[in-house]
């Protein structure tokens, strides 16, 4: 029931290289300081040392050299006056970044706003873009996503004008982080891959490492743990090659999160403690807080409740100190679970209340709306710029066109003169032809017959042309009818596709399933675009309800029935407040029949269902079924509970649904399913798969992870079906307790 903590999103800080690019090593720079004069060169060396110590993770020395650079930049004589403003702005910039890495967000904002003021006054576009980006990073760490997105888009607008591909790549990554924090994984992944592609084109190793880290976060959220680990280990290797202690600490946390999700708690703790050690050495309180909270989370899963609470309190105090709202939120949620496990219900309630208040303040629909508005506004401004460029191009074309027209007029006059001469010559030739014609009357008479035959041929040609014309008209009519058919077909497919979106709205999201049932899978394979099968989940108080349902028919009719049945389940739980599984199915039957009885037609549609309820507090399992049984594997033995032999809907001699109660050991695996898998025709003889073969397959794979079980079932189904058509919708749910 504990939340998976994902910490360490890497937002990219890009730095100006045009003035302050010093590639010397730290020792070389320290030697240069001994002979440097008190001028701008020494300021550059001090700023470079600040940045290099930051990359090394020595934030204390980074602050020391950054402050020394700021003091010297403010006192040196430059361009006839006192103070080198460009050096001061860069010193403020680097001090802000070091403060942000230390978790001192208030101080980081102060430094960045001072840099922003100087760069606005001096008209330094590249510097402004840099500062807006860094402000966005600090706002993100404070969970102020509106201001973070506003800052990133301001920076991206300037970078698009400049055309700096490396910095644009960094901003795509930063915007992707905000999309991820607001739950839009698809948009986040799109931005991360754009960022990775541009970094690979520019050869930026740090940018590539950051992109792989962010991609790993999304894969972890989607439950693709192999892909997540692959991405995180690429990031860890690259951070170790670069000597980036901050990056190494972050990578260890993220790898630990994946191991925890896979149930490899010792591996997870090993990575968390490695991150904590590095974070404490470099003074990174934000990552230290994250490490403590994650360690506490694993201790809770191992039932080491005192150790868990000590770690969580340490992490909470650090997170409050640096203002990291996401870490504070995670600490509250896990402390609530910890107190609940020890029986301290008052403490659990207080922490849950604090978690809810903070969660509601950080994420809401208005955040996502404003995010979309800022994206649209940025795209609109880009389009306006393109229009202006197009108008300028049209003006150029008008000038060229004017010159072209003038040249054409000259050519036309010359052509007309030539034609006039040709007409005069033709008149002379016509006169000569008349004289000749009189001499050839006899020949013309002889040709009359030939002309008659030619006229006949012309008539036939006209008839043939008319026939071709009729054929063309008929061909166009056939093509028009074909277009109408294709248009109607497209409209039907579009309507069904839209119906699919409506049906998907009743299915619980994967994140919602994994939050309450982390060790589960759902194999869902509709026969058509929309399906009569659906799965349903609802969490009320300490009860988790989950069901696999098979409505009458498939395709569009089945999908329509599924929406009616899903709505009935929701009303039974929320409106009528029923908790007993048998009573729930009785009430659902009543609601479904009530819905269809409103029609004049005799509708006998309904559904078969397997409904399971898990009490998180007591560990009790309750189950009821309509036609579909419940299978579960305990101690390597598959057992079955028979369902009531009646559907949800009209049925003669209907009886109340039976509620079954089970006391099971941890490690038990429950399977809820419809009949589509067992009824599929295939194999060498084209026969049904059948339930017996499904039982044997589940027993064979029950020792594997839930994700591997899903993959095996999917592969087996595809191989069994072969080239035959899928006969029905398929839905299988596996839950490991």
The domains spanning 165-236 and 507-736 adopt the same CATH topology: no
Q: 437-484, pLDDT tens digit by residue?
A: 776 665 666 666 656 667 666 657 765 676 777 678 778 777 777 777
Give buried/exposed letters for 484-516 (b at 16+ CB in 10 A, else e): eeeeeeeeeeeeeeebbeebeebbbeeeebbeb
For 595-604, 610-619, 667-676, which range has the lowest pLDDT when averaged over its residues?
Answer: 595-604
638: phi then psi, degrees, rounded to nearest 5: -90, 125
- The residues spanned by each domain of the chain are 15-163, 165-236, 244-362, 394-430, 467-505, 507-736
> What is the Cα–Cα distance from 330 to 397, expressed in whole angstroms?
61
Q: What confidence score (pLDDT) does residue 20 get?
A: 42
> What is the Cα–Cα distance from 450 to 583, expressed in whole angstroms?
102
Q: 260-311, pLDDT tens digit by residue?
A: 999 999 999 999 999 999 999 998 888 999 999 999 999 999 999 999 999 9
Q: What is the mean pLDDT of residues 81-91?
A: 89
Q: What confidence score (pLDDT) does residue 734 get?
A: 97
pLDDT at 403 over 50: no
Torsion sign, CA atoms 243, 249, 250, 256: positive
pLDDT at 342 over 70: yes
Q: Is the pTM of this model over 0.75?
A: no
| CATH number for the domain formed by residue range(s) 15-163 | 1.25.40.10
pLDDT confidence bin for 5, thresholds 50/70/90: very low
pLDDT confidence bin for 415, thresholds 50/70/90: low
For 200-204, 303-307, 358-362, 618-622, which range has the lowest pLDDT when averaged over its residues?
Answer: 358-362
Report the percentage of the chain scoring pLDDT > 90: 48
pLDDT at 717 over 90: yes
pLDDT at 690 over 90: yes
Assigned token pair, 24: 């010397």
Compare 658 and 15 and report the one with higher pLDDT.
658
pLDDT confidence bin for 113, thresholds 50/70/90: very high
The 3-state DSSP class for residue 445 equals: helix
Checking DSSP bridges between strand 621-626 and strand 660-662, what pairing results, if any? antiparallel
Q: Which fold has domain 507-736?
A: Phosphatase 2c; domain 1 (3.60.40)
| CATH number for the domain formed by residue range(s) 244-362 | 1.25.40.10
> Is CATH 1.25.40.10 the right assignment for the domain spanning 165-236?
yes
Q: What is the mean pLDDT of residues 198-206?
A: 89
pLDDT at 378 over 60: no
Helices vs. strands in the chain: H and E counts, helices first: 24, 14
Q: What is the mean pLDDT of residues 235-253?
A: 92
Q: What is the mean pLDDT of residues 720-733?
A: 94
């Amino acid at each position: 029931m504990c939340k998976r903590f994902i910490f360490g999103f890497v937002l990219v800080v890009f730095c100006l290289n045009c003035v302050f690019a010093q590639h010397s090593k730290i020792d070389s720079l320290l030697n240069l300081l001994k002979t440097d004069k008190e001028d701008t060169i020494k300021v550059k060396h001090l700023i470079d040392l600040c940045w290099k110590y930051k990359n090394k993770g020595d934030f204390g020395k980074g602050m020391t050299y950054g402050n020394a650079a700021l003091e010297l930049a403010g006192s040196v004589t430059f361009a006839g006056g006192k103070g080198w403003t460009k050096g001061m702005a860069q010193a403020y910039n680097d001090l802000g970044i070091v403060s942000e890495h230390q978790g001192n967000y208030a101080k980081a904002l102060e430094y960045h706003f001072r840099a922003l003021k100087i760069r606005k006054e001096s008209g330094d576009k590249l510097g402004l873009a840099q500062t807006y980006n860094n402000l966005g990073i600090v706002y993100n760490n404070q969970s102020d996503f509106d201001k973070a997105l506003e800052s990133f888009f301001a920076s991206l607008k300037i970078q698009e004008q400049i055309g700096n591909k490396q910095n644009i790549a960094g901003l795509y990554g930063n915007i992707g982080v905000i999309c991820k924090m607001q739950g839009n994984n698809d948009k986040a992944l799109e931005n991360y891959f754009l960022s990775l592609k541009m970094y690979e084109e520019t050869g930026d190793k740090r940018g590539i490492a950051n992109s792989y880290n962010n991609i790993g976060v999304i894969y972890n959220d989607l439950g693709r743990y192999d892909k997540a680990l692959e991405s995180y280990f690429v990031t860890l290797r690259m951070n170790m090659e670069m000597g980036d202690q901050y990056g190494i600490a972050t990578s260890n946390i993220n790898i630990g999160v994946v191991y925890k999700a896979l149930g490899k708690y010792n591996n997870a703790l090993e990575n968390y403690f490695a991150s904590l050690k590095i974070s404490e050495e470099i003074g990174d309180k934000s990552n230290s807080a994250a490490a403590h909270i994650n360690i506490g989370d694993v201790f809770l899963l191992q039932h080491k409740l005192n150790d868990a609470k000590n770690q969580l309190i340490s992490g909470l105090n650090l997170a409050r100190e640096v203002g990291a709202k996401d870490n504070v939120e995670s600490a509250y949620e896990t402390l609530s679970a910890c107190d609940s496990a020890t029986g301290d219900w008052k403490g659990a309630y207080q922490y849950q209340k604090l978690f809810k208040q903070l969660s509601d303040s950080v994420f809401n629909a208005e955040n996502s709306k404003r995010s979309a508005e800022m994206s649209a506004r940025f795209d609109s401004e880009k389009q306006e710029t393109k229009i202006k460029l197009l108008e300028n191009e049209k003006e150029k074309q008008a000038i060229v066109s004017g010159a072209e027209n003038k040249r054409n007029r000259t050519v036309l006059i010359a052509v007309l003169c030539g034609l006039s001469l040709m007409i005069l010559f033709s008149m002379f030739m016509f006169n000569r032809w008349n004289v000749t014609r009189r001499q050839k009357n006899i020949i013309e008479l002889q040709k009359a017959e030939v002309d008659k035959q030619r006229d006949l041929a012309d008539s036939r040609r006209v008839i043939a042309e008319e026939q071709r014309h009729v054929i063309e008209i008929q061909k166009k009519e056939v093509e028009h009818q074909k277009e109408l058919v294709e248009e109607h077909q497209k409209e039907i497919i579009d309507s069904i596709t839209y119906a699919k979106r409506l049906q998907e709205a009743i299915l619980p999201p994967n994140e919602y399933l994994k939050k309450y049932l982390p060790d589960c899978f759902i194999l869902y394979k509709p026969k058509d675009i929309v399906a009569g099968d659906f799965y349903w989940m609802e969490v009320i108080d300490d009860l988790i309800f989950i069901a696999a349902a098979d409505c009458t028919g498939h395709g569009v009719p089945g999908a329509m029935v599924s929406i009616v049945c899903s709505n009935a389940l929701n009303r039974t739980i929320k409106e009528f407040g029923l908790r007993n599984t048998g009573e729930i199915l009785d009430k659902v039957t009543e609601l479904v029949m009530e819905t269809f009885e409103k029609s004049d037609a005799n509708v006998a549609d309904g559904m078969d269902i397997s409904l399971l309820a898990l009490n998180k507090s007591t560990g009790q399992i309750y189950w009821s079924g309509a036609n579909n049984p419940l299978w579960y594997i305990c101690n390597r033995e598959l057992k079955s509970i028979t369902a009531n032999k009646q559907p949800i809907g009209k049925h003669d001699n209907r009886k109340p649904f039976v509620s079954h109660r089970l006391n099971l050991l941890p490690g038990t695996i429950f399977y809820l399913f419809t009949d589509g898998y067992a009824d599929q025709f295939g194999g060498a003889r084209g026969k049904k798969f059948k339930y017996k073969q499904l039982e044997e397959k589940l027993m064979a794979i029950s020792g594997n992870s839930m994700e591997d079980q899903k993959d095996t079932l999917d592969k087996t189904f595809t191989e069994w079906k072969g080239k035959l058509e899928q006969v029905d919708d398929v839905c299988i749910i596996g839950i490991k307790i």
